[in-house]
Structure 1
Amino acid sequence: MVEIMSNPVSAKKTSDEKLSKDGKKTVTTAFLGFTVDMIDVYLPIIALAPAMIYFQPANLSPTIATTLYFTIFVLSLIGRPIGSFIFGFLGDKIGRRKTTLIAILGLSVTTFMIALLPGYSVWGLGGIIAIAALRFLSGIFMGGEYTSANPLAMEMSPKSKRGLFGGLINAGFPLGTIIVSVSTLITLSLLPAGDATAPYSVWGWRIPFLLGALLSLILFIYSYFELPESEVWKTSKKTTNPLKALFSKEHFGQLGQVFLLMSGVWFVTNAIISSLPGMLKMLNVSSTTSTYSQLFANIVLFVLFILAGAVSQKVGRKSVLTIFGVLSFTIAPVIYFFLLKGGYQNPVQLMILVIVVHALVIPVFGVLTSYITERFDTSVRASGYGVGYSLALVIPALTPFIMLGLQNFMPYVYTPIVILIIGGLCITAGALLGPETKDVDF
């Protein structure tokens, strides 16, 4: 069992029951920040997927095209650990507020720049290379946003409500996906997708990206004028080098346990949210049907994220994490198999199966913000949260290439199921190795 650390320094105490006015501002910023973060994460999966042909050479094989599509998504995931190191260090050194503002503004700028890019007919491979580079940069800023904003919100929340508010913050994940899905569906209905010269392929996909950039800019303006600094951080004892302290003997065990848990979370995320749209495309499911199924799944997830966080406040974070881990390597793979084997052929059945697969696994995110911030003391909380949450992306980021290797032993379309099982085992092991945290004092 890994020992838990709690901060002995007690700052100005927030009421154990009521969220203060400043606390509401921090939770609002973290929730909206996670929403625009997730909009930027899933723009390539939902909005850009129907237009990828605009950036690709003609006559690519479906497997190579799907791998290229996954790779663009994965590049932003690789950038996030780098962002967590940079902004985690800054968050523990100069404060949560300043680092949050820098990250949100950077996210807005990089998303806007992607919306301006030309396609293969103009830049050749330069267009896809530019997307890759900008996705990597946006990943750095994504990693910075939640690394600073989420610990700030948890430090300003009453202990008895951290689970609920943590679930609410992470509900920005499905909300961001809902916004991308709706904007994409509307755009596709007005500007049909098709070949590289279709209206959606040429410029329709840019509309969701511009919307994402605008929302990030609005959040930056709001946060600049309204976001307070954490009282817990301001009155706490600071460490000279938070990253060095995080990797010291005192905290390394905690970091390793969170790393294992989060590696599992990112594996199941890649198996379902990242891979499923590409698999459905390979199975010739229409872009509209696929996007609708993701939309309905995320509406359900919005509620389940908040519920998972609230339940963790009652029964414990460890128990809820363990339950989702076990579901991820037992029941969910069976449902996923039936979906890919033939369940996709009927639109209603497809949507039901997509919702069930998501609901059995993905609400684990509703527990993560409260759990991980509770695992680290104030002097390294931003670094610990950011690095623990994002560094674990590195190995799961290889998912597209693992899937390519697995196709030597099984049909490519079923390879995400193996990734799902691996992720579930990691979540379960990580949860069991860690302590219960819901009663930790900041």
Structure 2
Amino acid sequence: MTEPAGPATPTVTDKDARKVAFGAFVGTALEWYDFFLFGTAASLVFNRLYFATDDAVVATLAAFASFAVGFAARPLGAVVFGHLGDRIGRKRCLIITVTMIGIVTGLIGLLPDFAAIGVAAPVLLTLLRLLQGVAVGGEWGGAVTLAVEHAPPERRGRYAAMPQIGSPVGTLLSSGAFLAVSMLPPESFDSWGWRLPFLAAFPLLAVAVWLRRRVEESPLFEKLLEEDERASSPVRDVVARAWPQLLVGAGSALLGVGGFYLITTFAISYGTTTLGLPRSLLLTATLVAAAVEIGVLIAGGRLAERFGAAAVTVGGGIASALVAFPAFWLIDTRSAAAVIVGITVATALLSIPYAVSGALLTELFPPRLRYSGLALSANLAGVVSGFVPLAATALLAAGGGTSTLPALLLVGISLVTMVSGLVAPRFFVSRDKVVSAPA
């Protein structure tokens, strides 16, 4: 794809870059908190209270199908907010997305269950999940774009990793909230306890909007406006002219998203339903894994600056493929320590390519198409990822309840990301220049 070199850009300071990256991180953490709540609730609550059936496997499949709807809707959000982000600005879109997902998540906490309103309950739940997906579909691409376009080129790896840290922090918040309410008596948990983490989205929304309003618009986008170099139809241009980059970007992001849901959302269901493990153990394992992941993401951003995002992606894909079966073997032991180690190690390794996903994708697309390119790539991976717990559950049933086929699925996802990392450098565009101010 041949693109104009792009506009010259104003001087930025490390202080400005840190401020924007932190704002992107906090907003993304709050959005992922909202989005991840649904995944945990699908494993522990929605399968029983909203998809009423005597067959536990069918109920779980139905709950995971509603979970997948959010991912299926994410490309719509990528198209809408990608277009707007490349046309009217990154900051405006990020305020809209965080407001939208906060309101929707709070409404889930107010939604009556199947016993109260019948079939309307799962229908409305699925509709709210769809709206969640649209909002999240426009969130990540904008947050990474804003962070990267404020950053000096030599330090983009670390700043691109900042929005990624929002994912484990969101996991810590959502899993921690569910761990706390899971201590309630079962009847209290089912009647009102599980709703509290969702209702917390309302006050968190106020914090997120305040932070997003304080973040400045991208200096690169302001230059695009000034020099009238915006694409008239950025989404169309990405699909028509940059489809190889789109596919490579989606493949490189697949492990960090799909692998994560396999080793967390599916593992929670597998552990509680098939292995009979206490849900508190699985939630604790997820919390430990998320805490370790934060350190991996920080280190991964620095590795991207030293070795390149593509090389780090390849290494993470290989490591995750090698550990897939051992991780599930540890979970299968039913030993609390082994379960925590298995989930934590697998999460840490698949987080290596996730750490550099923002840095890699920003090198695939020029500034005038960047928001759209990042959003579409990430959400193509998200569509597939949303069906990973569903596919893993079906494979579990097909394999007679053993973890062999789900582990093999993780190997396949890892290899897709590894291959994508290998071919990505041939599609890199010329890096746009951001001038660093003297310290």
Give me the TM-score of the superposition, normalised by structure 1: 0.90
Aligned to 2:247: 256
Q: Look up the match of 2:270.
A: 279
Deviations 1:86-136 (A, max 9, x none): 000000011111111111111111011111011111011221221111011
**1:335 deviation in Å?**
1.5
Measured in 2, the distance between the counterparts of 1:5 and 1:435 equals: 16
CA distance in 2, matches of 1:94, 1:391: 23
Q: How does 1:237-256 map to 2 (within 5 A)?
A: 237-249=229-241, 251-256=242-247
2:170 aligned with 1:173, yes or no? no
Q: Across the two proteins, how many residue pairs are aligned to each other?
A: 425
Corresponding residue of 2:382: 393
Residue type of the partner of 2:7?
A: V
* 8 A Cα contact 1:289 1:347, kept in partner: yes
Partner SS state of residue 14, structure 2: coil
Which residue in 1 is equivalent to 2:8?
10
Contact 1:47/1:180, CA 8 A, preserved across alignment: no
Among 368, 381, 397, which residue is 1:379 paired with? Answer: 368
168, 176, 190: which is aligned to 1:201?
190
Q: 1:353 aligns with which of 333, 342, 352?
A: 342
Change (3 A) 1:409 1:292: closer
Amino acid at match of 2:209: F
**Which residue of the partner structure matches residue 158 of structure 1?**
152
Structure 1 equivalent of residue 88 of structure 2? 94
CA distance in 1, matches of 2:397, 2:132: 34
Question: C-alpha distance in 2, partners of 1:102/1:306?
Answer: 28
Unaligned residue ranges in structure 1 (runs of 5+): none
Q: Which runs of 5+ in 2 are unaligned?
A: 434-439
Q: Work out whether 1:227 is the aligned partner of 2:227.
A: no
Whole-angstrom distance in 2 between the partners of 1:169 and 1:215 = 17
Tell me the equivalent position of 1:192: 185
Q: 1:373 to 1:213 in 2, by over 3 A?
A: farther
Show CA shifts across 1:202-248 (max 9, x none). Answer: 11111111223321331112322x12111101112111111121123
8 Å Cα contact 1:87-1:147 kept in structure 2: no
**Deviation (angstroms), 1:261:** 2.2
Per-residue deviation, 1:439: 8.4
1:311 aligns with 2:303: yes
Paired residue type of 2:360: Y
In the alignment, which residue of structure 1 is the partner of 2:201? Answer: 212
Distance 1:123 1:97, change over 3 A: same
RMSD across aligned positions (CA): 2.2
AA aligned opposite 2:298 = I
Residue 58 of structure 1 and its aligned partner are, at CA, apart by: 4.8
TM-score w.r.t. length of structure 2: 0.91
Which amino acid letter does the alignment assign opposite residue 98 of structure 1?
R
Distance in structure 2 (CA, Å) of the matches to 1:32 and 1:319 = 28
Please state how far the C-alpha of 1:441 moved relative to its aligned partner: 2.9
Whole-angstrom CA distance in 1 between matches of 2:42 and 2:385: 22
Q: Which amino acid in the other structure matches residue 219 of structure 2?
A: E
Over the matched positions of the two proteins, sequence identity in percent amounts to: 23
**Residue aligning to 2:424:** 434
In 1, distance between residues paired with 2:412 and 2:276? 27
| Amino acid of the structure 2 residue aligned with 1:360 | L
**How do 1:130-149 residues align onto structure 2 when only pairs under 5 Å count?**
130-149=124-143
**Counterpart of 1:247 in 2: which secondary structure?**
helix
